[in-house]
Amino acid sequence: MTIVVQAEPYKDFIKDAKKLYPLHWEELALNKDKVKLDPQYDLYDALDAKKQIMVITMRRDEELVGYFIGIVAPELHYKSCIALTMDIFWTHPSIRDGGAGIRLFRAVENEAKRRGVQRIYHGSKLHKDSSRLFEYFGMAPIEVYYSKWIGD
């Protein structure tokens, strides 16, 4: 079985992604008892219409087994700098051995360069740390985000 890693249009990817989002959410989401999986598909569609969504997929025999979604846009504080900011990524546990993450993020970087991106931002959840993957690509940590549930 061959895994193909490629850029895909968001509108082609999303119908398959919706089937995997619950697995992704179950593995990585915080506060699952309070926050249900409920993506803002209208916002993704709007960003896609502006050509600001970047999707890289991993498909095994055409079945979606991994993905990256990022936003390509000028930075808010540096409008002359085009940045790729990671939204989400996930690989199915069945493909995680053997460098799947490296293949995925190599394709991300190549597509970002093709689109004229100058700076890339990726994040790692500390409870499922992927920092080593990003360090493999020469990235350095620059911030830590903190979270606290304050709702009812």
Domain count, the chain: 1
Looking at the domain assignment, is residue 143 inside a domain?
A: no
- Report the predicted TM-score, pTM, of the whole model to 2 decimal places: 0.93
Looking at the domain assignment, is residue 14 inside a domain?
A: yes
User: Residue 140: what pLDDT?
Assistant: 93
**Residue 58 to residue 50: CA distance in whole angstroms:** 24
User: Residue 97: what pLDDT?
Assistant: 82
The boundaries of the domain holding residue 98 are: 3-30+37-136
Phi/psi for 109 (5° steps) reads -65, -40
What distance lies between CA 93 and its chain's CA centroid? 16
Looking at the domain assignment, is residue 142 inside a domain?
A: no
**Average pLDDT of span 92-121:** 95
Phi/psi for 14 (5° steps) reads -65, -35
Q: Are the beta carbons of 44 and 9 closer than 8 angstroms?
A: no
Looking at the domain assignment, is residue 59 inside a domain?
A: yes
CATH of the domain at 131: 3.40.630.30
User: Residue 128: what pLDDT?
Assistant: 84
